[in-house]
Chain A
Amino acid sequence: MNKENRAWQWSAHTVLILFSAACVLPFLLLVISSVTDENAIVQNGYTFFPDKFGLQAYDYLRQQSSLIFHAYGITVLITVVGTTASLLITSLLAYPLSRRDLPGGTALAFILFFTLLFNGGLVPTYLIYTQLFHIKNTLLALIVPGLLMNGFNVLLMRTFFMTTVPVPVLESASMDGAGEFKMYYKIVLPLSLPILATVGLFQGLAYWNDWNNGLIYVTDPKLFSLQNVLNRIMSDIQFLASNSSMSSHASDAIAKLPSETFRMAIAVIGVIPILIAYPFFQKYFVKGMTIGAVKG
Chain B
Amino acid sequence: MNHSHNRFGRKLRKFGPLYLMMIPGLIYLAINNYLPMFGLSIAFKDINYRKGIWGSDWIGLKNFEYLFKTSDAYLITRNTILYNVAFIIIGLVVAVGVAILLNEIKNKIASRLYQSLIILPFLISMVLVSYLVYAMLSIDNGFVNKTILPALGLDPISWYNEPKYWPYILVFVNVWKGAGYACIVYLAAIIGIDPEYYEAATLDGASKWQQIRKITIPLISPVIIMLTLLGIGRIFYSDFGLFYQVPMNSGALFDTTNVIDTYVFRGLMQLGDIGMSSAAGFYQSLVGFILVLLSNYIVRKINRENALF
Let me know if A45 and B21 touch, CB within 8 A: no
Interface of A is mostly: helix
Let me know if A45 and B143 touch, CB within 8 A: yes
13 interchain pairs, CB-CB under 8 A: A8-B104, A13-B110, A24-B120, A122-B265, A128-B36, A144-B32, A149-B29, A211-B127, A234-B248, A267-B131, A267-B132, A270-B125, A271-B124
In the complex, the chain B residue whose C-beta lies closest to that of A128 is: B35
Asked if A280 is an interface residue, CB under 8 A from chain B, the answer is: no
State how many residues of chain B have any CB contact under 8 Å with chain A: 100
Q: Mark A1-27, 1 if CB is under 8 A from B, else 0.
A: 000110011011101110110111011
Q: Mark B125-148, 1 if CB is under 8 A from A, else 0.
A: 111101110111010111101110
Q: Which range holds the interface residue count of chain A?
A: 35 or more
By a CB distance below 8 angstroms, the chain A residues around B36 are 119-121, 124-125, 128
By a CB distance below 8 angstroms, the chain B residues around A47 are 143, 146-147
By a CB distance below 8 angstroms, the chain A residues around B188 are 289-290, 293-294
- Give, as a whole number of angstroms, the nearest-CB distance from B160 to chain A: 12
Let me know if A120 and B37 touch, CB within 8 A: yes
Asked if B114 is an interface residue, CB under 8 A from chain A, the answer is: yes
In the complex, the chain A residue whose C-beta lies closest to that of B116 is: A282
Asked if A166 is an interface residue, CB under 8 A from chain B, the answer is: no
Asked if A96 is an interface residue, CB under 8 A from chain B, the answer is: yes
Let me know if A23 and B17 touch, CB within 8 A: no
Let me know if A45 and B128 touch, CB within 8 A: no
Asked if B119 is an interface residue, CB under 8 A from chain A, the answer is: yes
Residues of chain B touching chain A, judged by Cβ–Cβ distance below 8 Å, are 11, 15, 17-19, 21-22, 24-26, 28-29, 31-40, 42-43, 47, 49, 52-53, 97-98, 101-102, 104-106, 110, 113-121, 123-128, 130-132, 134-136, 138, 140-143, 145-147, 176, 180-181, 184-185, 188, 207-208, 223, 226-227, 230, 240-241, 245, 248-249, 261, 264-265, 268-269, 274, 277-278, 281-282, 284-285, 288-289, 292-293, 308-309
Q: Decide: A113 near B309, CB < 8 A? Known: A47-B143, A122-B265, A296-B230.
A: yes
Let me know if A119 and B126 touch, CB within 8 A: no
Q: Decide: A11 near B101, CB < 8 A? Known: A96-B21, A108-B22.
A: yes
Q: Decide: A230 near B285, CB < 8 A? Known: A115-B29, A122-B264, A296-B230.
A: no
Residues of chain A touching chain B, judged by Cβ–Cβ distance below 8 Å, are 4-5, 8-9, 11-13, 15-17, 19-20, 22-24, 26-27, 29-30, 33, 41-42, 44-47, 88-90, 92-93, 95-97, 99, 102-103, 108, 111-113, 115-128, 131-133, 144-146, 148-149, 151, 154, 179-181, 184, 205, 209-212, 215-216, 227, 230-231, 234-235, 260, 263-264, 267, 270-271, 274-275, 278-279, 282, 285-286, 289-290, 293-294, 296
Q: How distant is the Cα of A122 from the Cα of B308 in the complex, in angstroms? A: 25
Let me know if B53 and A131 touch, CB within 8 A: yes
Q: How distant is the Cα of A50 from the Cα of B29 in the complex, in angstroms? A: 53
By a CB distance below 8 angstroms, the chain B residues around A260 are 141
